[in-house]
Amino acid sequence: MAVVATTLLVLIVLCVRGLPIEGNLFALLPQDQDSAVINKAIDHYNDNVTPEAVMIVSGDSLEQAEAAAAAYRQSLMKTPWFEQIQLTWSIDQQVSNYEFWYPYRGLLLTPEQRESLRDGRFKEMAQSAVAKTYSGFTGVGGRELEGDPFLLFRDFIQSSYQGGGRIRWNDGYLTAHYDNKYWVLMRAHMAAAPSLLNSTQALDDIDAAVAEVAGRYPANQLSMSGLFFYTATGMAAGQHDISRIGVGSLLGIILLMLVAFRSLMPIACGLVAIAVGFVMALTVTVLVFGQIHIFALVFGTGIIGVSIDYAFHYFADRQCGDEHWQPQRAMRGIYPAISLALLTSALAYFSLVLTPLPGIKQMAIFAVVGLVSAWVTVVCCFPYWVTQPSSSGVPFKRLLLGWLRWCGFVAQLRHWLWLMPALAVVVITVFPGWHVNDDVRALQSPSLELRQQEKVIAAATGSRISTMFFLVAGESTEEMLQRNELAVAALLKLKQQGKLQGFRALPVPSQMSQQENYQLQQQLYAAESTSVMDQLGLESLRVSRSNAPVLLQSWLAHPNSESWRQLWLSDEELARGETVYSVIQLYGVDNKTWLEYVDSDIDGVTLIDRAGSLSDMLHRVRTLVTGLLCVAYAIVMVVLAGRYGLSRLPQLMLAPVASSTIALACLVILGVEVNAFTILALILVLGIGIDYTLFFAETKKLELSTLVATTLAAITTLLSFGLLALSSTAAISHFGLTVALGIVVAWLFSPMAAKQISPAVVNRSQSQQGQDA
């Protein structure tokens, strides 16, 4: 009881203090100060864009599309999941934006205008302004010309958005015409972030709201896109997996224990051992690292769950014993096997500490501490908790004894069994389906409906936002804005060359550029103002003479900057005098090679490709863990050779090697791509396969209790991990499938590790344990 009480106390303390769980996958990588700051800025940007969503509604006429969009907006706003859905954009907003910038017009130029003025093409710009004025399509009035005779300010306002596409402002709506249909755009801001608890409800509410309007407007198509919908769909799938796989696994294990032991005592004791291991592992990991990564927590917990094998070994010995069974003697009998199993598994997992990846180190510490704690609980507590012999027999005893007899016959050919892993290696080497894929996108199972809606939005708007973006850094806002301008100039060239559809960056010029713009405009007015006034019939000009700069903070404080603020990441950093960051969003990126040139040519400008970076990280993890898997096998071989001698090493390594190679070969044949999660699953398979092998290796002959223990362990592992193969998430499914295949093979081959395994020995073992079914 003291063990249970202490465990509960530690768990309560951890929960009250709050578990410092890290969920960022990039935290798995080594972090220097620069990368940590950059990751913080990226996380800030992700927080800015995650609540944003885009919707578009089609119609055969513009009026029909507008009416349907209004109905969808009204229905969706009745749900608790939308904070705002903007359908109309008032002309007052454009006027307000115009009025903010107008006093600074003498300091503002587009990059193209600045280039022309630097080259002295004053007359060319004057002629262009006159031609635009008399073209009849620009709607330029006399008062506007007096304040902006060269139309420099008009071009600046129109060029602040470089996203490209076919979206146009039309009488208060953002509209497009595509595929003989009219489309109306809406911009939404979500009210809450999706989670495991609310995602299913959120999607159900949104689907119901959409269905209600779709019944009234069957000809009008609504498409939605945003991180909220992808995240909520993934969370809902995870919730479904938990309820289906998790609950099914738990019920299956409880039913198995009841059938095998006819008692709840083994369940309770096994869960206590696992709980002690989990709490101790969590405590030590948090004390050592200050936090724990969700990756280490999930994978490490799975490894600790395997420690129930130690409990099974104890209870199987009790189940197969007679009325003279004694707990201390039983523990002495299984002690060498479970201790050696702990040693080999702990050494194998501890080898992961050699990796430079913090998340993998955490996983190693978590797993080793958890296994040791669970082992201590079994060895020190079980003989005092469970002291009476079992009153029930072994279920399916005849079937198990028949399997023992079959193993006895097969064991005579066990040297030939090495042909199976050898054949598996051949399959892995030459089979055309063998493929390694570290692309993080291959691990996801995105909703086909969401993907289709995203394609519709991209096609209708003619603008496809990229998941890649540029992060622009500076020691001050001035330095950041100067670098932002250099990046914008480079991106404009790519856009003109057709290598980029568009981009969106902070429109505020640096103070250095504003002063240069002022000087260039003064030169233009000095050279061409008289000529332009004569040609346009202007009597006077209202030219801006002020050179007081527009400040970034002033613009950010203005209401019209609201839709741009997600590009600014550093309010707190600016107040503390630290490095500040902004973002340049990209549209229509098909080849990031050209973007990498911008990254390398401009200081402080970094191309952020989260999917590519995650894929690189998974490649590093897979490569590193593959090497550590080989190291783990070498450690296991050394331990086994020291314990049993070199002569028995082929016999003992058969199950661990066969389980990994045959599982991998099956994946190759099934066309499943190998990735980091596959290799991590093979590490788990190695640890489990060694346990099964040592349970048999420590017996003088094949014994029913050992087979019962390994069979129960294999079934519970299949229920715990194998069912993950049914997950809708590709990464989890591949992990579960690998473990399931490996465990089955390990269970089949592990009896070959027994020292004496001839049919005669099996028959004598059966006669000693009785022939009753």
Residue 211 counted as domain residue: yes
Q: In terms of domains, do 305 and 380 share one?
A: yes
Q: How far apart are CA 234 and CA 729, in angstroms?
A: 8
Other Cβ atoms closer than 10 A to 354? 13
Q: In terms of domains, do 276 and 371 share one?
A: yes
Residue 270 counted as domain residue: yes
Other Cβ atoms closer than 10 A to 231? 16
pLDDT-above-70 percentage for the chain? 89
Q: In terms of domains, do 78 and 210 share one?
A: yes
Q: Which residues pair with 55 in a beta bridge?
A: 186, 224
Last residue of a domain, one of 253, 288, 322: 253
Count Cβ atoms within 10 A of the Cβ of residue 600 and give its class: 0-12 exposed, 13-18 middle, 19 or more buried: exposed
Residue that wins the pLDDT comparison between 617 and 638: 638
Confidence of residue 761 (pLDDT cuts 50, 70, 90): very low
**In contact, 386 and 273? CB cutoff 8 Å:** no
Q: In terms of domains, do 303 and 195 share one?
A: no
pLDDT tens, residue by residue, 250-297: 788 788 888 888 887 888 888 888 888 888 888 888 888 888 877 677
b vs e for 284-310, b when ≥16 Cβ sit within 10 Å of the residue's Cβ?
A: bbbeebeebbebbbebbbbbbbbbbbb
Q: In terms of domains, do 285 and 369 share one?
A: yes
Q: How far apart are CA 772 and CA 395, in angstroms?
A: 11
Cα-to-chain-centroid distance, residue 10: 30
Other Cβ atoms closer than 10 A to 532? 21
pLDDT tens, residue by residue, 306-317: 778 888 889 888
Tell me which residue has tokens 């064991």: 411
**In contact, 283 and 13? CB cutoff 8 Å:** no
Q: In terms of domains, do 215 and 306 share one?
A: no
Length of the chain: 773
Whether 249 shows a pLDDT value over 80: the answer reads no
Last residue of a domain, one of 365, 392, 419: 392
Cα-to-chain-centroid distance, residue 53: 20
Q: How far apart are CA 692 and CA 180, in angstroms?
A: 67
Residue 7 counted as domain residue: yes
Q: In terms of domains, do 305 and 286 share one?
A: yes
DSSP E strand stretches across 518-597: 580-587
Q: How far apart are CA 174 and CA 66, in angstroms?
A: 10
Count Cβ atoms within 10 A of the Cβ of residue 355 and give its class: 0-12 exposed, 13-18 middle, 19 or more buried: buried
Could you give the angle at the alpha carbon of 596 between the alpha carbons of 594 and 597, nearest 5°?
A: 70
Residue 504 counted as domain residue: no
Q: In terms of domains, do 266 and 197 share one?
A: no
Q: Is 536 left (phi over 0), alpha (psi -120 to 50) or beta?
A: alpha
Q: In terms of domains, do 227 and 283 share one?
A: no
From residue 633, give the alpha-carbon distance in Å to each of 316, 356, 536.
28, 20, 86
Q: In terms of domains, do 301 and 193 share one?
A: no
Of 477, 567, 570, 504, nearest to 37 by C-alpha is 570
**In contact, 355 and 624? CB cutoff 8 Å:** yes
pLDDT tens, residue by residue, 317-336: 888 877 888 999 999 989 99
What integer pLDDT is reported at residue 760 of this predicted model? 46
Question: How many structural domains does the chain have?
Answer: 2
Residue 311 counted as domain residue: yes
Residue 688 counted as domain residue: no
Task: Report residue 504: phi and psi, to 5°.
Answer: -145, 120
- The CATH number covering residue 239 comes to 3.30.70.600
Whether 209 shows a pLDDT value over 90: the answer reads yes
What crossing angle do the helices spanning 111-118 and 152-159 adopt, rounded to 10°? 140
pLDDT tens, residue by residue, 6-15: 655 655 555 5
What integer pLDDT is reported at residue 767 of this predicted model? 52
Could you give the angle at the alpha carbon of 424 between the alpha carbons of 421 and 427, nearest 5°?
A: 160
DSSP reduced 3-state for 419: helix
Last residue of a domain, one of 232, 253, 274: 253
Listed range (332-341, 410-419, 652-661) with the worst mean pLDDT: 410-419
Mean predicted lDDT score pLDDT of the chain: 85
- The CATH number covering residue 345 comes to 1.20.1640.10
What is the value of pTM for the model shown?
0.77
Q: Which residues pair with 461 in a beta bridge?
A: none
Residue 148 counted as domain residue: no
Q: In terms of domains, do 278 and 378 share one?
A: yes
The residue range of the domain holding 189 is 50-89+172-253
Q: In terms of domains, do 221 and 349 share one?
A: no
pLDDT tens, residue by residue, 2-51: 555 565 565 555 554 556 666 555 566 665 555 667 777 777 887 878 78
Residue 488 counted as domain residue: no
Listed range (297-306, 478-487, 513-522, 739-748) with the worst mean pLDDT: 297-306
